[in-house]
C-alpha cells in the first residue's frame, strides 16, 4: 500500500528539512513588528507601489520594527532585466529606507532572513509543500488545458459555481497507487491544495484598515506549485511571511478576496497568520467620467518617472500621499510647517477604505508649498540635479555663474510678497532662462508685443534719459518714483487720474510693461525692480537699447 510520505519522497527526494528546521534558521525577531514591500520586477515603478511601500515603511519604523523588500519573481515570463535596481533606486529617491532585502552589489542579500528574491527560495517552498503532501492536504494534478476548459464549459452550462473543487478536480480523489503510477509516467504536473471549505461556510477576520470582514470561505483547490517548480503567490506568501516574521501584511485590496484561502493555508501548516491590512487603490476619473484604478497600461502618470520628468519633488509627492494615507496630516503639517514629512505618525487605521482620487491640483499645491519652503541653496541644488538629467543645457547655464543663478532664483522668496513662482522644477527653466544673455537673445524674436504706444522711435528719448539716471542701489519706492518722473517728461501719466485728464500717450504701467518685456522677453515676471537688480546695470542698459 502506497503512503502519502512515499508520494512526497517521490516528488521531493532531496528535501529532508522540516518547517521546524527552517524556523530555527529564521527565529522570531527581537522587535516583532515587521512589514514588507513585495513587488514583481515587471517594469516601471508604479506610483501606487510608492504609496503602498511608504505606508509599509512608515508603519514599521514608527514601532521600531523592520521594513524589508522581497522580490516576487516567480512569474519569470514577465520579468524585466534591471527592474530590481529600478525598484530599489525609486524607493531611495522617495526617502523610503529599506532595512533588509536584495540591496547589495548584484542584488546580494542584506539581512538575516533571506534569500529576498523568491526564485532563490525554491528549496524553502519545497519543504512547505512536501509537508502538505505528507498530511494529505496537497496532491499532484495532471489536468490539461483542454480538461480545464471542458470543466469551465460544463459549469457554465449547469450554472454551478465555477472553480476546481470536489469532483471537478479530477486528481483530488485518486488513490495513492494511481498517483504513484502517474508520477512514474509523467513528471509534468502541478501541486494543488486540498481545500476543506465549501460554499456554505463563511470566513470571519479583522482587517486593520477595513475592519471586520465576513466573506465566503475558500473552496477551490488552488495551485500551490506550478509545473515549472515555482510557487504561486499563495504558497509563497505563507512560507515567506512566516519565515521572514512579517507581523503585518500591508498590500493592495485586490488580495482581499484571497484572505480566506490564505487563512486556510496557515491553518493547514498549523501556523499563526499575520495581521492583514488591505490598502485601497489610487483612482482617477477616466474619459467617460467613471472612477477607475490608475492603470500601468493606460495612464502615463502611473509611472513614477512621469513625476520626475514633470518636475515634482519627492518631498512634495510624499506630502501629498500622506494626505491620502491620513486625512488629518494636512492640518498637522500646516500647524508644524518646519517638520519633515517623516516626522509625522502614520495611522493606517485612518486610511480610506474605498480608494482615493489622485488630485493633481492638490499635488501641485503641496509641491509648490514645499519648493517655496526650502532654502534657495536647496532649490538650486535640487533644480540642478534635475536639469543635469532632463535639461543639460540649463544645467550648464546654472553652473556658469552659481551666485547669479541663485540670485535669480531668490527673487522675493521668503518675503511677504513671495509669489511662490515654482510649482514644479519645470518652472525653474521658464523663470530664470531670460537672465542668461545667450537665451535672452534667442527669446527676443518671440517676445510679446509691446504696448502700442511704445514704438522704437518714441521710446528712444525715454530710454536715453532713463539710462542716465539708472541707479539700482535706490530703494524700490525711489526707483518707482524715478520711473514716474522720467516717464511723465516723455508723455506717460503717473496714474489713471492724470491719464484721464488727457495729453498723455500712456500710463506708467505701460512703461513698466515695456521694460518687463524688453528686459525679460515675457509679460509675466517677478518684481521688475528685483529682476533689474539681479540683471545688473550693464545688462539693463544693453537690453533696453535693443529695440
Lowest mean pLDDT among 66-75, 120-129, 158-167, 346-355: 346-355
pLDDT of residue 200: 85
> Which residue bears the cell 522570531?
28
- 26 in a structural domain: no
pTM of the model: 0.86
pLDDT at 529 over 90: yes
Asked whether residue 213 falls in the same domain as residue 297, the answer is no
What total of structural domains would you count in the chain? 4
pLDDT of residue 415: 86
Report how far residue 482's alpha carbon sits from residue 502's, in angstroms, rounded to the nearest whole number: 22
Tell me which of 334, 358, 373 is where a domain ends: 373
- 77 in a structural domain: no
Kindly report the average pLDDT of the chain as a whole number: 93
Give the residue-averaged pLDDT of 462-473: 93
Question: Which of the two residues, 390 and 418, has the higher pLDDT score?
Answer: 390
Residue 20: CB atoms within 10 A of its CB come to: 9
Tell me which of 236, 261, 279 is where a domain ends: 279
- 458 in a structural domain: yes
pLDDT at 11 over 80: yes
The alpha carbon of 30 is separated from its chain's Cα centroid by a whole number of angstroms, namely 31
DSSP codes joined into one string, 231-293: BPHHHHHHHHHHHTT-SEEEEEGGGGGGHHHHHHHHHHTT-PPPEEEEEPPEEEE-TTS-EEE
- 111 in a structural domain: no
Asked whether residue 194 falls in the same domain as residue 267, the answer is yes
Asked whether residue 10 falls in the same domain as residue 132, the answer is yes
pLDDT of residue 355: 85
- 520 in a structural domain: yes
pLDDT, tens digit, 9 for 90 and up, residues 114-161 = 999 999 999 999 999 999 999 999 999 999 999 999 999 999 999 999
pLDDT of residue 383: 97
- 237 in a structural domain: yes
Asked whether residue 127 falls in the same domain as residue 251, the answer is yes
Which range scores top for mean pLDDT: 65-79, 266-280, 463-477?
266-280
Burial class (CB in 10 A: 0-12, 13-18, 19+), 510: buried
pLDDT of residue 408: 97
- 74 in a structural domain: no
pLDDT of residue 183: 96
pLDDT at 90 over 80: yes
pLDDT at 76 over 80: no
pLDDT of residue 336: 85
**Using omega within 30 degrees of 0 as the cis cutoff, is the peptide bond preceding 75 cis?**
no
Asked whether residue 342 falls in the same domain as residue 252, the answer is no
Asked whether residue 209 falls in the same domain as residue 134, the answer is yes
Cell for 29?
A: 525577531
Tell me which of 335, 352, 373 is where a domain ends: 373
Task: Residue 485: give its domain's CATH number.
Answer: 1.10.10
In the chain, pLDDT over 90 holds for what percent of residues?
A: 77
Task: Residue 346: give its domain's CATH number.
Answer: 1.10.1160.10
pLDDT of residue 227: 94
Report how far residue 426's alpha carbon sits from residue 389's, in angstroms, rounded to the nearest whole number: 12
Enumerate residues 6+ apart whose C-beta is below 8 A from 231.
Answer: 74, 118, 125, 129, 224, 225, 239
Q: Sorting pLDDT into bands at 50, 70 and 90, what band is 327?
A: confident
Alpha-carbon torsion 287, 291, 292, 296, what sign? positive
Q: Sorting pLDDT into bands at 50, 70 and 90, what band is 313?
A: very high
Asked whether residue 367 falls in the same domain as residue 380, the answer is no
Asked whether residue 175 falls in the same domain as residue 246, the answer is yes
Q: Sorting pLDDT into bands at 50, 70 and 90, what band is 197?
A: confident
Residue 328: CB atoms within 10 A of its CB come to: 14
pLDDT, tens digit, 9 for 90 and up, residues 268-299 = 999 999 999 999 999 988 877 788 888 878 88
Task: Residue 131: give its domain's CATH number.
Answer: 3.40.50.620
Half-sphere exposure of 129 (CA within 13 A, CB side): 31
pLDDT of residue 434: 97
pLDDT at 69 over 80: yes
Asked whether residue 10 falls in the same domain as residue 130, the answer is yes
Residues 176, 7 contacting (CB under 8 angstroms): yes
- 45 in a structural domain: no
Give the residue-averaged pLDDT of 439-463: 93
The alpha carbon of 222 is separated from its chain's Cα centroid by a whole number of angstroms, namely 32
Asked whether residue 247 falls in the same domain as residue 338, the answer is no
pLDDT at 517 over 90: yes
pLDDT of residue 340: 80
pLDDT of residue 287: 79
pLDDT of residue 419: 79
pLDDT at 542 over 90: yes
Report how far residue 329's alpha carbon sits from residue 331's, in angstroms, rounded to the nearest whole number: 6
Asked whether residue 366 falls in the same domain as residue 240, the answer is no
Residues 189, 238 contacting (CB under 8 angstroms): no
pLDDT at 476 over 90: no
Residues 230, 74 contacting (CB under 8 angstroms): yes
Alpha-carbon torsion 11, 15, 18, 23, what sign? negative
Asked whether residue 365 falls in the same domain as residue 393, the answer is no
Domain encompassing residue 509:
447-544
Report how far residue 147's alpha carbon sits from residue 394's, in angstroms, rounded to the nearest whole number: 63
Cell for 63?
A: 514601532
> Which residue bears the cell 494615507?
325
pLDDT of residue 473: 92
Amino acid at each position: 500500500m502506497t503512503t502519502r510520505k512515499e508520494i512526497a519522497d517521490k516528488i521531493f527526494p532531496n528535501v529532508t528539512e522540516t518547517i521546524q528546521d527552517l524556523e530555527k534558521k529564521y527565529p522570531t525577531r527581537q522587535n516583532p513588528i515587521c512589514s514588507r514591500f513585495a513587488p514583481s520586477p515587471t517594469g516601471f515603478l508604479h506610483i501606487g507601489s510608492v504609496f503602498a511601500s511608504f505606508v509599509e515603511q512608515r508603519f514599521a519604523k514608527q514601532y521600531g520594527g523592520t521594513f524589508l523588500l522581497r522580490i516576487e519573481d516567480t512569474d519569470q515570463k514577465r520579468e524585466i532585466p534591471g527592474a530590481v535596481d529600478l525598484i530599489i533606486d525609486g524607493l531611495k529617491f522617495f526617502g523610503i529606507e529599506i532595512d533588509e532585502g536584495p540591496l547589495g552589489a548584484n542584488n546580494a542579500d542584506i539581512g538575516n532572513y533571506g534569500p529576498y528574491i523568491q526564485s532563490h527560495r525554491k528549496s524553502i517552498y519545497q519543504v512547505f509543500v512536501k509537508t502538505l503532501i505528507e498530511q494529505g492536504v496537497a496532491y499532484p494534478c495532471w489536468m490539461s488545458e483542454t480538461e480545464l476548459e471542458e470543466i469551465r464549459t460544463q459549469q457554465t452550462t449547469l450554472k454551478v459555481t465555477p472553480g476546481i473543487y470536489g469532483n471537478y478536480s479530477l486528481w483530488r480523489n485518486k488513490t495513492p497507487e494511481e498517483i504513484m503510477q502517474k508520477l512514474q509516467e509523467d513528471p509534468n504536473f502541478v501541486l494543488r491544495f486540498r481545500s476543506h471549505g465549501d460554499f456554505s461556510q463563511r470566513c470571519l477576520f479583522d482587517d486593520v484598515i477595513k475592519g471586520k470582514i465576513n466573506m465566503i470561505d475558500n473552496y477551490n483547490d488552488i495551485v500551490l506549485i506550478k509545473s515549472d517548480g515555482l510557487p504561486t503567490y499563495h504558497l509563497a506568501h505563507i512560507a515567506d511571511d512566516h519565515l521572514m516574521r512579517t507581523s503585518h501584511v500591508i498590500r493592495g485590496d485586490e488580495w482581499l478576496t484571497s484572505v480566506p484561502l490564505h487563512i486556510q493555508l496557515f491553518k493547514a501548516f498549523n501556523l499563526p497568520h499575520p495581521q492583514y491590512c488591505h490598502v485601497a487603490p489610487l483612482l482617477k476619473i477616466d474619459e467617460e467620467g467613471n472612477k477607475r484604478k490608475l492603470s500601468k497600461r493606460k495612464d502615463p502618470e502611473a509611472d513614477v518617472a512621469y513625476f520626475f520628468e514633470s518636475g515634482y519633488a519627492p518631498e512634495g509627492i510624499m506630502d501629498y500621499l500622506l494626505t491620502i494615507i491620513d486625512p488629518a496630516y494636512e492640518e498637522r503639517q500646516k500647524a508644524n510647517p518646519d517638520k519633515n514629512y517623516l516626522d509625522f505618525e502614520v495611522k493606517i487605521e485612518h486610511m480610506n477604505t474605498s480608494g482615493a482620487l489622485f488630485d493633481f491640483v492638490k499635488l501641485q499645491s503641496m509641491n509648490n508649498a514645499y519648493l517655496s519652503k526650502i532654502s534657495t541653496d536647496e532649490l538650486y541644488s535640487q533644480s540642478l540635479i534635475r536639469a543635469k538629467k532632463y535639461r543639460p543645457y540649463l544645467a550648464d547655464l546654472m553652473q556658469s555663474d552659481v551666485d547669479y543663478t541663485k540670485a535669480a532664483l531668490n527673487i522675493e522668496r521668503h518675503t511677504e510678497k513671495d509669489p511662490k513662482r515654482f510649482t514644479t522644477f519645470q518652472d525653474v527653466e521658464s523663470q530664470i532662462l531670460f537672465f542668461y544673455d545667450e537665451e535672452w537673445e534667442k527669446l527676443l524674436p518671440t517676445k510679446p508685443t509691446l504696448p502700442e504706444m511704445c514704438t522704437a522711435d518714441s521710446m528712444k528719448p525715454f530710454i536715453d534719459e532713463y539710462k542716465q539716471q539708472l541707479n539700482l542701489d535706490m530703494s524700490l519706492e525711489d526707483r518707482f518714483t524715478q520711473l514716474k518722473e522720467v516717464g511723465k517728461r516723455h508723455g506717460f501719466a503717473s496714474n489713471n487720474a492724470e491719464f484721464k485728464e488727457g495729453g498723455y500717450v500712456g500710463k506708467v504701467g505701460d512703461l513698466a510693461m515695456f521694460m518687463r518685456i524688453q528686459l525679460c522677453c515675457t509679460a509675466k515676471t517677478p518684481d521688475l525692480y528685483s529682476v533689474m537688480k539681479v540683471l545688473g546695470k550693464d545688462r539693463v542698459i544693453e537690453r533696453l537699447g535693443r529695440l
